[in-house]
A and B are shown apart, each in its own frame.
Chain A
Amino acid sequence: MHLVSFRLNGDERSLAVEPRRTLLDALRVDLGLTGTKKVCDMGDCGACTVLVDGRAVYSCLILTVDCEDREVTSIEGLGLADPASTNGEAALDPVQRAFIETDAYQCGFCTPGQIMSITALLSEQRAPSEDEIRRAISGNLCRCGAYQNIVRAGQRAAELFATTAATSPTGGPR
């Protein structure tokens, strides 16, 4: 077992894992964060997409022991509790709100990965073209076929960020 320390959704985490433990399994099994989904476990589908140092990566293709000192953001790290919230509720991130508004999902299993890919895009490119959005999610399969609305969600999220300029997408440059 190896002891690994990294920053996860803003918190310092340390855990002991076998060297072969993927980041995906560490998140889902060791840390109980099941929002990141396991579908193909070989880098074909994008359902396990998380941000590592702000970039979208397939967490099934990265070993936990390679995450030492890195910054990992999973779907659970988006829309974290807003200290300024007046009603005490955690706010949804604009990308998450955009998915609900545009019905950019059906079964929802690919949704966290799609949201993380779009979040990574928007942290680099605040006003992406439709083609850039398509490319950003071209490695995220959706078997229900919600692509058309996922692209719209990307466009809508960009609009929401533009109208709330103070907020930076999670995982982006701060």
Chain B
Amino acid sequence: MSVLRVEREKSEDGEDQYTVVESEMAPAWKADQDLAIVGKPIPRVEGDLKVTGRAQYAYDVRLSGQLYAKVLRSPHPHARITRIDTSQAEKLRGVRAVLSRASGPTVSWFEDTELFSEVVRYVGEEVAAVAADSEEVAEDALRLIEVTYEPLPFVMDPEAALKPDAPKIHKDGNIAGEPQDYERGDAGAGFQQADVVIEHRYTTQAALHNCLEPHGCTATWEGDHLTIWDSTQSIFDVRQEVAARLTMPEHRVRVIKQFMGGGFGSKQIAWKHTAIAALLSKRAGRPVQLMLDREAENLATGNRNPTRQHVKIGARKDGTLVAIEAEIVLATGAYQVGGEAAAVDGPYQTLYRCENVKTRQTAVYVNAGPAVAFRAPGYVEGAFALESAMDELARTLDMDPLALRFKNYSDVDQKEGKPYSSPDGLRRCYDAVADAFQWQAARTRGPQETGTKRRGIGLAGHDWIGGSGKPPGYAWVKLNADGSADVVAGTHDIGTGSRTGLLQVAAEELGLPFDQVALHIGDTAYGPYAPVSSGSATQATIGPAIQAAAVDAKRQLFEVAAPMLEVSPHDLELRDGAVRVKGQTGRQMAIAEVLGKIQPHMIQGQGSRGANPPDKTVHTFGAQAVEVEVDIETGEVTILRVVAAHDCGRIINPMMVESQVIGAVTQGIGFALTEERIVDQGRGMVMNANLENYFVPTVMDVPEIVNVPVDFPDPIANPTGAKGIGESPLIPTAPAIANAVYDAIGVRIYQTPLSRPQILAALAKRRTNGTSNHADVHGKVAH
């Protein structure tokens, strides 16, 4: 259904703002509704393509005459390019196109820079590109390009970058945008009422996405029409961006993405390589494939921003929080690329009931690759610090950490002043985890000790701004004459199982068997607009749009069938592929029979995603408990078990949800223990831009991860009652592990990753200083 109306409002700065109000959504499935297809563990519909190697990723496109491109990257963290000579490269046999500042068109890019800038601001920034008959020849050609750099002073550490005498990375200095300030109540007055204050500096590392399929694309021109197979989470954003940068109308750019080898947030924007491939292809007159190698992937296509967080929380002796304060500095890299979205301050503002909260978040430029959203951006970093501090508070007050969390439980979004659509969501997760982990029994048992091994337990909870979905989102449903249906949407399956989950919604609402519905996605040319697949939004944005389109198709079908069955359209329902008269068994017609009487006319339903509830906040929640074993001789942490419970509303497909939970926890284990981009501060170079020295978890590093399904339909959120699950289970893993490590060895680690050297150093410090390293705890509990 199309736009219903547009509402005009004045914004704060006096500009007209238009809010689009689209179709009413479908009637909500009731929380206890008996659903036939939704809720079933249906295996992924694309399974056979993935297990046979036939699923086509951007990297797998093979076109006649296809060339292969490579990019020359800056070896300097900050430098001015004074000369480029590509003539020798151009003469190499097999080289078909070369692009650089010296020879390419001027294309504007991030902030006020260009596709190939005069000043490069990190090791790995694009300097030139070559398309050749093979990757090997393209690499040979890169070595023949002569570049003269005038090195400039650089800074790699965000706190050093804030000092007045730090080298300036951009002309206005090193603060990226405005600091983000938030305050409610009076934190200073709150701390006056505190019996206990926990205050520490927490740091989190730069983590690299390391999607197994690197960023990249294959681009080809047919006349003035450009087609791009891109490894992206957002085909429409890539189309819009490429068209704008290359000054083309959008209808001449088509972007296709059927399968993608991981994104985790890093593929949610259009990166330079896509425009470079398009320009090389135009110049060479042949298709060009430009896929980044692993080093470039780790230098130039995003990272989870490293943070420094100064955190202070105050509580009364009964555990009631009276004040929370967080001063956050994060490194956004050399550029703001438009997909950072890191709300490190988020958990401080909303996870706990507290009247007095003050946060400041400052993003800082450094001479490193740009940061970009990484699965639950900001919340992973913020929750590590806040949930570590809460554990320390519980220890100091001699309270059960779980009881402390219930004591400060919030039913409302205190930032927006609205109740949650599912105020019991987090409570259910805590209960589910406590029960499945047998938290109280494990707590009573206490830490265990065998030889050099120490075992301990820890937990953490979280909220998350993602998972709600929101408008816009569109879908079409075509009912075929044989009674089958095609669903078309411009969205993507980024590996999360969206194809299957969305099809379940379609089949359920249409009353068709699952295998009678096909879903077509991932192509800007043949589907309605869809937003980026990020923020765990796809199921909750596109699902309701598909549901609305199915309702629209059904309404039309009933109009057609009513005279055939001699009843009013309102008396009809659709079940098991047949139009039936409600309450009368036997009076029915198969869809194929109805449509057979009107063909070649057919029914096409349209649906859009309606608004979220204006008076409620839709968030997702979760909790995890872990048991670890620490070897105090080697510092090695072994995760023995993880129990996770996450509220994602109605579970559309328990198999897909469980896979998301297990996968996110696995990434959380990597973030907590081993993953860290290591930078040589003196040379400005990343030392481990590969999979040999950047340690993502292997099968040997992960224990049994138990997912406790929390099937808690949220019909207020949207009519399907489902919310997203992709990101949230990564949030509480690292603090739960850190808290378990403390339980095991009595030493708290205030930074991620909790590496072996960190743990050994902390243990050594405790041996020298006494029993605890809770050195910064102010105040005493009055007993």
Contacts and interface: CB of A to CB of B under 8 A. Distances in A.
B52 interface: yes
Interface on chain A toward B: helix, strand, loop, or mixed SS? loop
A150 B209 CA distance: 21
Interface stretch (B105-113, B533-541, B696-704): B696-704
Contact of B52 (A18, A21, A96, A146): A96
Contact residues on A (Cβ < 8 Å of other chain), bracket:
35 or more
B43 A36 contact: no
A151 B212 contact: no
B52 A107 contact: no
Interface stretch (B360-368, B456-464, B515-523, B657-665): B657-665
A32 B62 contact: yes
Contacts, number: 166
Nearest to A44: B691
B646 to A, nearest CB: 15
> Which of A97, A107, A147, A148: most chain B Cβ within 10 A?
A107
A108 B136 contact: no
B705 interface: yes
Nearest to B704: A148
Nearest to B49: A108
B495 A106 contact: yes
A55 interface: no
Interface stretch (A61-69, A72-80, A164-172): A72-80
B667 interface: yes
Contact of A107 (B56, B494, B705): B494
Contacts of B662: 145-146, 148-149
Contact of A103 (B44, B49, B52, B214): B44
A143 B48 contact: no
A109 B57 contact: yes
Interface stretch (B256-264, B417-425, B577-585): B256-264
A76 B690 contact: no
A18 B62 CA distance: 20
Interface in B200-226: 209-214
A15 interface: no
B301 to A, nearest CB: 14
B707 to A, nearest CB: 10
A40 B57 contact: no
Contact residues on B (Cβ < 8 Å of other chain), bracket:
35 or more
Contacts of B60: 28, 34
Contact of A45 (B43, B136, B691): B691
A22 to B, nearest CB: 10
A84 interface: no
Contacts of B692: 40, 42, 44
Given A25-B135, A79-B52, A99-B47, A151 B699 contact: yes
Given A33-B53, A45-B691, A145-B667, 18 more contacts: A25-B135, A39-B214, A44-B690, A92-B52, A103-B43, A106-B262, A106-B659, A107-B213, A107-B259, A108-B46, A108-B55, A109-B261, A110-B212, A111-B51, A137-B699, A141-B698, A144-B659, A145-B666
Q: Which 10 A-B pairs have the closest CB atoms?
A: A35-B53, A145-B666, A107-B495, A109-B261, A108-B50, A145-B663, A34-B60, A75-B53, A100-B47, A96-B51
Interface of B: 43-44, 46-57, 59-60, 62, 68, 134-136, 209-214, 259-262, 264, 291, 293-294, 494-497, 655-656, 658-660, 662-667, 690-692, 696-700, 702, 704-705
Interface of A: 18, 20-21, 25, 28-29, 32-42, 44-45, 47, 74-76, 78-79, 92, 96-97, 99-101, 103, 105-112, 115, 134, 137-151
